[in-house]
Amino acid sequence: MISRTFFRFNTTNTISAETDDESVLDEAVALCGRYEQLLSRVDPASELYRLNHAEGRPTRVAPELAAFVETALRYCREVDGAFDVTMGSTTRLWDFKARRIPTPADVADALQHVDYRTVHVDGETVTLRDPQAHIDLGGIAKGYIADGILALLRERGVSHALVNLGGNVAVAGGKPDGSAWSIGIRKPLPSHELPLLDSFATLAVRDGSVVTSGIYERAFEQDGTLFHHILDPRTGFPAHTDVLSATVVAPTSLDADGYTTALVIMGADRALAFAEQHPSLEAVVVANEGDVLATSGIGTEVPFQLLT
């Protein structure tokens, strides 16, 4: 196994693969750069930025972006808007690093432009029927990218690989020795309060992805209130539920990433019921009282085994 660690997507990423060809990892890192040029909402050179600033005009975009937007809309529909790709008008009001909290009036104004149903995809043409709508794919992009990296590695003859995009983990083929990859589920506490790789449980996965969303990162406390980055599309403010973190295990990283945020917003009971209704998904939810809840397949079915 050889590895490459690099900074991209505002986080530290690692790609590991069983290969003797360093150029394969070079190609994978370069692919990440191409994805950023495609999907960044803040880079004026990106395709998504151009779409967001088209003022409602039908816009011909790269075929890959159009297809991905259409896919993202499917996730929005499946969770009844608990995840909404048009939250960009609201998310850009918040700055969790600078501890900037928007006014309720500004949030209310931005929420008028949050509705994934106003996005229309026709082939390679995407239209934001609301000229002030703003697509933000950050809640699902890393899953799409991780799957793309694994696909590239497979095309280059790699049988065993691990991709970690800032905690969004996707693996292929198990370890070279034939064992499953061990992927930790971290304790729901801020990184600065945890030793590196401090987990409360481990998942054994040969092929698939594990993604966790929680209210503990990109968060701050002010006047006794916790403000975190998982915003509820119904309110424009941090979701207030009984979930500290939700981990989704799925065959693809797109599925794992596409559902985690919505599960936090749904609350524990609805989140577990939703995951149980989707045969390809398993979930581990940490509730705010410290209870750890999991779907029926966790710990009993290969390839997702919970090792406490």
Assess contact for 23 and 16: CB atoms under 8 A. no
Query: Any idea which residue has 């009282």 for tokens?
Result: 289
User: CB neighbours (10 Å) of residue 220?
Assistant: 15
Within 8 A by CB and 6+ apart from 188, the residues are 214, 215, 216, 244, 245, 286
62-92-238-100 Cα dihedral, nearest 10 degrees: 150
- State how far the Cα of 200 lies from the Cα of 267, in Å rounded to an integer: 21
- State how far the Cα of 272 lies from the Cα of 265, in Å rounded to an integer: 12
Taking CA atoms, 42 is separated from 50, 52, 135, 200, 290, in Å, by 10, 10, 11, 35, 37
Give the tokens for residue 250: 């799925």
Q: Is 257 annotated as a binding residue?
A: yes
Q: Is 139 annotated as a binding residue?
A: yes
Q: Is 299 annotated as a binding residue?
A: no
Q: Binding site, residues? A: 139, 257, 261
Residue set of the binding site for Mg(2+): 139, 257, 261
